[in-house]
Every structure is written in structure tokens, then in C-alpha cells.
């Protein structure tokens, strides 16, 4: 989808930070099987901004974050972590600024058939300054017949002072980049930089050259969504047909386009994502090798050891000992 027609008009154009007394509503639409990592990053950014802003100038909370779902109640992420949500039907809009993020994840096909969610999106969309789908959350918008509405500050000219470089109009920004850019505009670059620095960066691994770390402009939105979906669902069995459905393509066309645009096959990309996660977990946790393997969708510690010997010429245990930071 061309992003030229999806940038809000007359919004967030000033480079002067807004007053902290003005409140912004951040609505995050979830469904069963949603991908947790990027949703958690958005929540962390806005909550950290609230904390830092309150320390500098006590008063009303700057960002009011709401987790919403079609029926409310407990929603399970793709990694079986449960979160509590409010019912979209009971969540009414206000005259305050609204930002809408729509989660991606494994349950998107079922969510697309839920008229409660689609009808709410149609009502909420006209009043939301930003409507930002995460990966295959774009499919929910398409099912409701609605366009994305990305943050215009991420497509600015040389006068913008953002923490991130401007994107081309054909490129969708990451949700976390959008959240940080909004904080920067609302509360100033110094506070936004504190927020960014407080979020622990993921350690680099031999497999961390993922497409989502720096999106080349030649990668289409559909292929990018499928790549992010693969990364978000490394912990469960995945078929190529599942990923092709996320990209709304036939399996044959998806395989051809993915290899052409990403440079490797979907299967190889998924394997790299699983190995990348296993490297991070080895460094960041003390979980047993076998449990890490299962959580990364690799099956067993023995299989993980074979892959490490093949691709890194080492074992998971040796990799952990060389790279783990002492407490």
C-alpha cells in the first residue's frame, strides 16, 4: 500500500514539544496469538516516558495506554503469555489525541473474521491520529477496508530532529520507532533519548542481521510483514503456507518473492531467527540448553548443538561461557 495517502494532515507538524498536561490515548488492539515483543516495547516506551515526565513535572499521566480486544478479558500471545484486555465495545473515544496500534501475530486470520473488531476499527479509525499496524496487523485493516496512517514525523525533511532517519514514503516504520518519535515530539529529544537508552538493546549475535533491524526500501510491505511474522513465531511449528497467507500470496509466488527480496528462502530465514533467539537466550538467561531449544522451536538440546556446530563451529555451552556477561 502506498503510504503517500496515509500520512495524517495537520498533525504533529511542530517541532516544539507539547505541554505535559495534554494527554494522549494509546490504544493497542490485540487478539489471540498476537506477537508479544513489539507490543511490549510500545508499552515500555510510553510507560517509561510517563515515569520520566512525572519526575520532571508532576501532574497528569501523559500517555494513557489501553489494551483492547474484541470481547475483552484474557488474551494469549503466541508465546502463551496472557494479558488482560478491555472490551472494544466498552471503550469509547474522547476528544483527546488517540494513537492506534494494531498487533500482528499468528491469530490474524481468525481475528479478520471477527466483525466486532472490524466494526470497532471502522469507528475508531477516523478519530485516530496514527493507525499503525504491526506486521500482519495490516491484514486486519485490509479486512475492515481501512488504510494505515503512519507517523508523518518519520517521513520528514532535514529539519526534523528525530532519533531515527526519515523513511521513504514506500517504507513502513517500526512501531517502536513510531512510539519513540512521538515521545520525542511531545516531550522533547532529551527525554526521548533517556527513554531509548533505558530500553536495554538486544545483544548482537552471529545471526542478528535480520530484515527488521534495518529495512531496505526494496522490500515490499507484504514480504516484510511475513518476515516479521516468522521472527515473532519462532517458538511454534510454522509452515511455508502459513507465512504465504500472511503475505496474501500463493505459496509459489511467496517463495519466489521472499528469496528475491530478502536474499534467502523463508525456511533459511526462520532458521536464522531461531538461532538468533537461542544465542540471545544463552547469553541473557540461565535456562538449560534443552529448554532454550524448545522455546526457540528447535526441538531438543541435541538438535541445537548440531546446528551450533554446523553454523558456529562451537557448542551452545561454549557459546554461553564466552559471551555471558558476569552479574
pLDDT at 218: 65
- Given the C-alpha cell 471502522, which residue does it identify? 122
Tell me which residues of the chain have a pLDDT lower than 50.
1-5, 7-11, 13-20, 157-170, 210-217, 327
pLDDT at 20: 46
Cell numbers linked to 321: 561461557
Q: How many Å separate Cα 89 from the centre of its chain?
A: 25
Q: What is the largest CA-CA distance in the chain?
A: 59
Q: How far apart are the first and last CA of the chain?
A: 47
CA distances from 309 to 137, 295, 305 (A): 37, 19, 6
pLDDT at 11: 47
pLDDT at 215: 44
Cell numbers linked to 176: 517502536
- Residue 7 C-beta-side C-alpha neighbours within 13 Å: 20
Which stretch of DSSP H or E encloses residue 22?
A: none
d(CA 22, CA 138): 29
Quote the pTM value.
Answer: 0.61
- The correct answer on CATH 3.40.50.880 for the domain covering 3-198 is yes
Cβ-Cβ contacts under 8 Å for 193 (sequence gap 6 or more)? 163
pLDDT at 157: 43
Domain locations in the chain?
3-198, 211-323
Closest CA to 277 of 264, 265, 291, 266: 291
d(CA 12, CA 138): 23
Cell numbers linked to 122: 471502522
- Residue 68's DSSP bridge partners are 29, 86
Cβ-Cβ contacts under 8 Å for 287 (sequence gap 6 or more)? 281, 295
Number of H helices, E strands in the chain: 13, 6
Report the alpha-carbon angle 149-150-156, nearest 5.
Answer: 135
d(CA 136, CA 167): 20
- Residue 100's DSSP bridge partners are 27, 131
- Residue 76's DSSP bridge partners are 82
Q: Over the stretch 235-265, which tens digit does the pLDDT of each residue have?
A: 778 888 888 888 888 999 999 999 888 888 9
Helix (H, G, I), strand (E, B) or coil at 10: coil
pLDDT at 208: 62
Return the CATH architecture of domain 211-323: Orthogonal Bundle (1.10)
d(CA 142, CA 280): 34
pLDDT at 234: 81
pLDDT at 68: 93
Amino acid at each position: 500500500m502506498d503510504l503517500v495517502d496515509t500520512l495524517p494532515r495537520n498533525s504533529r507538524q511542530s517541532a516544539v514539544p507539547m505541554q505535559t498536561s495534554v494527554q494522549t490515548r494509546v490504544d493497542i488492539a490485540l487478539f489471540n496469538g498476537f506477537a508479544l515483543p513489539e507490543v511490549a516495547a510500545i508499552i515500555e516506551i510510553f510507560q517509561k516516558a510517563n515515569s520520566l515526565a512525572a519526575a520532571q513535572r508532576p501532574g497528569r499521566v501523559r500517555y494513557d495506554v489501553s489494551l483492547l480486544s474484541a470481547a475483552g478479558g484474557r488474551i494469549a500471545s503466541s508465546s502463551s503469555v496472557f494479558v488482560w484486555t478491555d472490551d472494544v465495545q466498552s471503550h469509547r473515544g474522547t476528544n483527546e489525541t488517540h494513537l492506534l496500534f494494531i498487533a500482528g501475530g499468528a491469530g490474524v486470520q481468525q481475528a479478520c473474521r471477527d466483525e466486532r473488531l472490524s466494526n470497532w476499527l471502522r469507528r475508531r479509525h477516523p478519530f485516530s491520529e496514527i493507525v499503525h499496524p504491526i506486521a500482519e496487523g495490516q491484514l486486519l485493516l485490509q479486512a475492515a477496508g481501512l488504510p494505515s496512517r503512519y507517523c508523518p514525523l518519520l517521513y520528514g525533511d532535514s529539519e526534523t530532529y528525530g532519533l531515527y532517519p526519515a523513511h521513504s514514503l514506500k517504507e513502513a516504520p517500526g512501531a517502536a520507532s513510531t512510539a519513540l518519535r512521538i515521545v520525542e515530539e511531545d516531550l522533547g529529544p532529551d527525554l526521548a533519548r533517556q527513554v531509548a537508552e533505558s530500553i536495554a538493546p538486544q545483544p548482537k549475535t552471529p545471526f542478528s542481521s535480520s530484515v527488521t533491524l534495518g529495512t531496505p526500501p526494496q522490500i515490499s510491505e507484504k514480504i516484510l510483514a511475513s518476515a516479521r511474522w516468522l521472527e515473532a513465531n519462532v517458538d511454534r511449528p510454522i509452515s511455508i503456507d502459513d507465512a504465504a497467507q500472511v503475505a496474501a500470496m500463493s505459496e509459489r509466488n511467496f517463495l519466489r518473492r521472499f528469496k528475491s527480496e530478502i536474499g534467502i528462502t523463508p525456511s533459511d530465514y526462520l532458521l536464522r531467527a531461531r538461532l538468533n533467539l537461542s544465542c540471545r537466550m544463552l547469553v541473557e538467561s540461565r535456562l538449560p540448553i534443552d529448554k532454550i531449544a524448545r522455546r526457540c522451536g528447535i526441538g531438543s538440546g541435541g538438535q541445537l548443538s548440531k546446528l551450533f556446530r554446523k553454523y558456529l563451529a562451537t557448542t551452545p555451552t561454549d557459546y554461553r561461557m564466552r559471551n555471558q556477561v558476569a552479574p
